[in-house]
A and B are shown apart, each in its own frame.
Chain A
Amino acid sequence: MSAKAVRNLNVQYIATTLSVSCLVAMSGASTVLAQEELNALVWCDHTDTALLEPFETANNVKVNVKEYEGTGAALSIIDQSRPGDWDVLVIDGIDVPRAVEEGILGEIPADALPTADFFPEVVMADNNTLDGKTYAITEKYGYNTISFDKTKVDPEDMKDMANIWSDKYMGRIAIYDYYLPVIGLTALSAGIDTADITEENMPDIRERLLAMKSASKLVGDVVSSQTALATGEVDILVGGGEWVTAVLSAEKPDLDWVIPEQGGLRWSQSIGVMADSDKQELALAFVQYITSPEAQAKLATSSCYWGMPANKLAEEHLSAEQKMALRWDDQAQYLSNSQLYPAPDIDLDDLMQDVWTEMLQN
């Protein structure tokens, strides 16, 4: 074959390839144009296909989820994004006022939300509303308390938090690496309510925290602390709760959790619409979907971690085993014996984080 023929063939090949590529790109583009997209900044429990698919199908929308851990990380991501990049935000219930003050969350119509069907204690109007306007809605809650392996630990011991500092369990403890709940639990062990934590009593909490670290084997995030408990690396997880053990209830029935007599911490997560979203209606529809009974049951039993649904009507969509793992019937007692996360101002928050870093480093 001559060089000219080869060159012609190459030109034909390139032209054909470009044409096909353009057609593919155009058909892809038309598909993308036909399907709207919703961008949600979420915790890992919102990423299951089973949770997102019904909403996507019903609304012909693609929900893009980005996971984050810790409000600081979320604020950092938002800070580095363009206005309108994010439509929906899932955030620690305690941090909703902060997100509202910073203009991150927009107002949503209270009458469009199913809060009448919620456990009253977790509606948390003080957090989710400001000046009579609603900015977020609680979607899931649970407890940061003590998780343990009941075959290796005396369950009676776990009812008194003082045993965490005893020699009996030295080196058998993991600490959940999130400063707010663990500092809150440490405060409760010292008889300080989470709402009463101040710069004045932080030195006492610091001492207890450092002593707890000395008695512990590791400090780990969600995955590593859960793995440590599940694999027998440790027998106790401080800061654990149903979110650690319930998801493993079938495979690891020996894992249990308790709210000790000193009390436990109640975590809650809220969902809201971003103030600068261009898709306010679609974002609100997503919030309504997530707080519907069907979606609430799926969110409660997500593959990442379990937690109680805020909507009581989710009960109809949960099996007896799932409700048992979530301790559905004990909620009245648990809700009354738990306190909300500490809500520090910026200065106290900085101090708490300093103490936490010092604890990690010792």
Chain B
Amino acid sequence: MNADVSGNDDPRSAWFYVVPALLWTMAFFVVPFAFMAATSFASLVRRKITYTWDLGNYLEFFDKPYLLKGLFVSLEITLAVTFISVVLAYPLAWIIAERVPKRLQRAVLILAILPFWTSYVVRSYSWLLLFSSNGVINNALMGSGIISEPLQLASTTSATIIGFVHFFVMLLTLTIYSNLVQLSPNYKRAAMDLGANTFQTFWHVILPLTLPGIMVGAFLTFVLCIGDYITPQILGGNNELVLPQIIMLQLGRRADIPAAASMSIILMLVVTAVYLLCLRWLKMERT
């Protein structure tokens, strides 16, 4: 049965609604992307962009280990952040959806995502106050006699990961929670009736059914995390550069837009590859 809720089957009217979105996508994604792709094959000669069609920028990226390392550092941090965020966010979302009374769920959810309301930069700098040599953590550890010298917590990859996880746990909690509350309680009852215990019900029924929510949140986390350069800049102390930081160096220090464009394309290809890998789970509707 055709499920046209508007009752209008005229394909011309469908186009009427689709065209603005297509124009928007063309103007703000396809055209800029095409321009960036073309620029990535250009080269910088005597500080002037010369439009050519060679792979020089790409070859240089893979030829210089310290540039290539940026991609690996980005992947390492992003995968760690995504994994840790999922592990922390799922129980939190489950507790809110299953254990908190319905009338309090909205309030608890607001509390959980409260840090979203502060500036991203301020949040990162706040972590710096905790992590610094004279920060809260080191002072507490030294005050209680556990350590005698301050630990290096700031300006490390771990600090970057913690800063990211703090942000993305909130995002994942939202996506997983929305998936959990949509789940009919009949699934759980049916599993229990068939003799499954609590763990088996969760493992074989609840988890697979909430996988789309997890994957959507995880993919969003991956995309946002791998493209971010502010948190690594503030918390990482320029000690191991992620790819976006290297892209910013090309723009800010060398005004080498073609090199920055080629690295951005590489970053985008990585995101596309991950999207294709996750494609089978990236749908929210349940069949």
Which chain A residues have a beta carbon within 8 Å of chain B's beta carbons? 69-70, 72-73, 75-76, 79, 102, 171, 177, 179, 217-220, 224, 231-233, 346, 350, 353-354, 357-358, 360-362
C-alpha gap A177/B237 in the complex (Å):
10
What is the number of contacts between chain A and chain B, taking CB atoms within 8 Å? Answer: 74
C-alpha gap A309/B18 in the complex (Å):
62
- In addition to A75-B255, A219-B237, A357-B249, 14 A-B residue pairs with Cβ atoms within 8 Å of each other are A72-B252, A72-B253, A73-B252, A79-B255, A218-B154, A219-B238, A224-B234, A231-B132, A233-B133, A233-B155, A357-B66, A358-B64, A360-B239, A360-B249
Find chain B residues with CB under 8 A from A362 CB.
66
Interface membership of B12, Cβ < 8 A:
no
Interface membership of B241, Cβ < 8 A:
yes
B252 touches A218 (CB 8 A): no
Q: Which of A217, A232, A353 contacts B254 (CB 8 A)?
A: A353
Q: Which of A79, A177, A354 contacts B64 (CB 8 A)?
A: A354
C-alpha gap A73/B249 in the complex (Å):
10
CB-based nearest B residue for A217: B155
B133 touches A220 (CB 8 A): no
Interface membership of B240, Cβ < 8 A:
yes
Find chain A residues with CB under 8 A from B234 CB.
224
Which chain B residues have a beta carbon within 8 Å of chain A's beta carbons? 46-47, 64, 66-67, 69-70, 132-134, 152, 154-155, 234, 237-241, 246, 249, 251-255, 257
Listed from nearest, the 9 A-B pairs whose CB atoms lie closest are A218-B237, A219-B238, A76-B255, A361-B66, A218-B155, A358-B66, A72-B255, A72-B253, A73-B252
CB-based nearest A residue for B245: A360
- Given A233-B133, A357-B249, verify A346-B255 contact (CB < 8 Å): no
Find chain A residues with CB under 8 A from B254 CB.
72, 350, 353
Find chain A residues with CB under 8 A from B240 CB.
361
C-alpha gap A361/B154 in the complex (Å):
17
A-B contact pairs, 21 of them (CB 8 A): A70-B253, A73-B255, A76-B252, A171-B152, A179-B253, A220-B237, A231-B133, A231-B134, A232-B134, A233-B154, A346-B46, A353-B253, A353-B254, A354-B64, A357-B66, A357-B67, A357-B246, A360-B239, A361-B69, A361-B70, A361-B246
Distance (Å) between the CB of B176 and the closest chain A CB?
35
A360 touches B253 (CB 8 A): no
A217 touches B252 (CB 8 A): no
Find chain B residues with CB under 8 A from A350 CB.
254
Distance (Å) between the CB of A207 and the closest chain B CB?
15
A217 touches B152 (CB 8 A): yes
Find chain B residues with CB under 8 A from A73 CB.
251-253, 255
- Given A346-B46, A357-B67, A361-B70, verify A232-B253 contact (CB < 8 Å): no
